[in-house]
Amino acid sequence: MRLSSILSKPPSSRFKEVEGFLGEKNIKNGTHKKIDVGVIALSFFCKKCEEMTTFYAGRDNEPALYCIIINNKLVSIDCSLKCPRCNSSIPTWFIIESEDNMISRSVNCRILKRRENLSDTAMYFKSDTFGDYTHLLEKANIAYREGLGAAAMVYLRKTFEQITCAAADNAKINRKTPTGGRKKFQDLLKEVDGACKIIPDEFSSNGYELFCELSNVLHGDYDEKLGLEKYEYLRRLIVGIIENIRNKHEYNEVVEALGWNNGDKK
């Protein structure tokens, strides 16, 4: 496996073995070195093309990739990811960390940091990909990319809250207690999920546990590192809830269009 395989995926805390890309001779710290690590490919929503597109760096017709040697376990890689259709570019920066000496035939490494300057060129996903929750998930992604694990958790928690409250309103479930106070989220979620089944079957018994994971950051039980390590997994569950609700809505529309709800099957 080449380093591009790691660079083309979300950052992970796990070290993975790749072909050595610096050679086997010691290199002085601060050296600027040309490298061949394969083609880096990352997907973004291209604003000019107005669709999700894979941006590339390191292809034959593009400028060579270079890195700066920080020390024998850290290198910095700068590149410009380009849209193959409109040639829009995204400046991207990686810090790669190796488990042992980076100067070797094979290296166990991981992405320690990754930053993209999306500017006016791109977004992480289309502005309406997740409906009313797209802007919150975009902010969560930006916080994650900036290394702000706690902030990313807060945005995911806010998304979960808004999803649940919207489902409650659609099902005409009162979000207040008989005395006019705000219902505990655990009680509201249980009531909403019982009526609407918003949590996918795959983790239906863990809906409130998901909320607790996201809430730990507010109670001081999370640090930035742990938030960053769990972000991709927790975000996927939030997206799964959105997709589950969307699928149910689409299925209901189809059934209604076929007239099945009225017993008018044909």
For the stretch 205-241, pLDDT in tens is 999 999 998 888 767 666 777 888 888 899 999 999 9
- Taking a C-beta distance cutoff of 8 angstroms, is the pair 81, 42 a contact? yes
Given this model, what pLDDT does residue 222 score?
66
Tell me, yes or no, if the pTM score tops 0.95: no
Residue 13 — very low, low, confident or very high, per pLDDT cuts 50/70/90?
confident
Counted residue by residue, the chain has a size of 266
**Planar angle of CA 209, 214, 217, nearest 5 degrees:** 125
Is 264's pLDDT higher than 60? no
Mean pLDDT computed over 80-85: 93
Half-sphere exposure of 82 (CA within 13 A, CB side): 13
Given this model, what pLDDT does residue 262 score?
58
Given this model, what pLDDT does residue 221 score?
65
Residues forming a β-bridge with 173: none
Mean pLDDT computed over 15-19: 94
212 contacts: CB under 8 Å, gap ≥ 6: none
Given this model, what pLDDT does residue 260 score?
85
Residue 265 — very low, low, confident or very high, per pLDDT cuts 50/70/90?
very low
Q: What is the distance between the alpha carbons of residues 144 and 152, in angstroms, rounded to a whole number?
A: 5
Given this model, what pLDDT does residue 127 score?
66
- Taking a C-beta distance cutoff of 8 angstroms, is the pair 55, 44 a contact? yes
Given this model, what pLDDT does residue 253 score?
84
Residue 147 or 179, more confident: 179
Instruction: Residue 71: name the closest of 34, 94, 48, 96 by CA.
Output: 96
84-88, 131-135, 144-148: range with lowest mean pLDDT: 144-148
Domain extents for the chain? 3-123, 131-262
49-63, 155-169, 218-232: range with lowest mean pLDDT: 218-232
Which helix H or strand E contains 98, and what residues bound it? strand 89-98
